[in-house]
Structure 1
Amino acid sequence: MAISFVAWLLFAVSSIQTYTIKAGISYVNIPEQKAFHPLQSDTVSVKMKMSGWKIFLKKLQPDTPHIQVDLSGLKTRSFIVFTNQLGYINRQFPVDNQVVSVSPDTLFFDFSKQTQRKVPVRPLYDIQFKKQYGIIGDTKANPEYVTVTGPLEDVANIEFLETDTIRGRNVGADIRTVAYLNKHQKNNITIYPTFSEITIPVGEITEKTVELPLKVENASRYTSVRTLPSKIKVTFLVSLKDYNKWSSRDFEAVVDMESWEKNKVQSLSVILTKIPDFCHVISIEPQNVDFFVRR
């Protein structure tokens, strides 16, 4: 029985079987001067012939592959038939994985007016810095704007395009990289150019402390309002090259009497209403102050 089981197992993993997987779709050879809306999901079922061993591995590590769909046929009609593209689709898979059919077999499209718009590039990043290092200036994209082409109703809703996430670990120097733009699964739009060169200035940072006078807001109905203390200390992180650039004149701290009038609080919270760019506040002392009011 053991020998029969092993023989059956070897036969099962070596024989060719039919297996169905889910696959995302993307579009190539999009006709110029035509904008379209797919009228179905961007995921299809692909029926394939492959060995039992590969099916076993697929079940252990399931994934969702992507297949490209040739849209050149939309020049003369409003639908694409997968049966007519099986040869093209099979070339996108290993030779021992044969695509038999795709469901649904027909993709339908709705055409609409095409338009163009320039939108800004917004870099995304997830960066961990060396100790006492950080971003010390504006992140720049080149180009800053890209051209989006597609259906009017889709393009009108795009205010900006994000890049793929730029990642870095233990970073202690400027980052210069090329990042591709993310369509956010909008397959019916085109972007030119499809990437942008991103520069992120990185430098050494240090702590600095300044003393600020407190301003009192919404105190016009009172003869006088005095806070205790009348000044606070703000500690922030700043780049070494800008250490002498920022002083107490570049910050502003206020307390608001409305919080006392509405909520009858015993002390007033300190609010920073003005902070220089790329200065990261790490502490305010004190965070709340007592006050005296003369009506």
Structure 2
Amino acid sequence: MKVAIGGPLKLGFRPWVEGLENIPAEGPAILASNHLSFSDSFFLPAVLDRKVTFIAKAEYFTTPGLKGKLTAAFFKGVGQLPVDRSGSRGAGEAAIKSGIEVLERGELFGIYPEGTRSPDGRLYRGKPGGLARVALATGAPVLPVAMIDTEKIQPPGKVMPKLMRPGIRIGKPLDFGRYQGMEHDRFVLRALTDEVMYEIMKLSGQEYVDMYATAAKRQIADAAKAEAKAEKEAKAEREAMAEKEAKENKGGGVERPAS
């Protein structure tokens, strides 16, 4: 399935890759990537000889009907792992547990430290709970990864993807053995995550924003709502003024003197 999907992706989009030599030939490793597009989880596995497993919403695997079955087969084929995101801490704990299991099998585990896609192409602050805890629990090396231009292939609102060459840069592995046994220290979790994000920033060339992408998305959504509300109010005011003027013109005619 990986060949069936990866082959057409490489043939159609011809992604360029730098740093493939940094992927270990065997053994566990964490690929920590920026997140620009839905397609990131497809392009990265497509260019690797080894299987890499990412986390995906369980809903992608449980939707009924033919479309649901095809979607589930597609996600399984590109190495996506279903995780139940129910509960306030369900997503994070389930992802950590799944990541540890993947690495304990000696495989590659892919994770997006930002936690969600960038809303504007910039690099946002990494969340320390997932990446750092998995790295410290397993001792696996962390490889920073930069996806380049994947957000331009299928911008929001576009149905058909644009044929263009995205890029992938894979950095040298980072060893965090110095932090072993300190996985409950929030300052260590923060320091490890920030170090990885700095390496991703150097590889991607993105502008760094010291806030979470989820918070940025809320700000953008709130701003859009406020703008829509202001436009609605302005439109209502214009319509009221037009109606008032029409009434005044209709009833306020000046009578001409007889000649």
TM, length-normalised to structure 1: 0.18
- Higher share of residues assigned strand: 1
Q: Return the structure number with greater relative CO, CA threshold 8 A, min gap 6.
A: 2
TM-score, normalising length: structure 2: 0.20
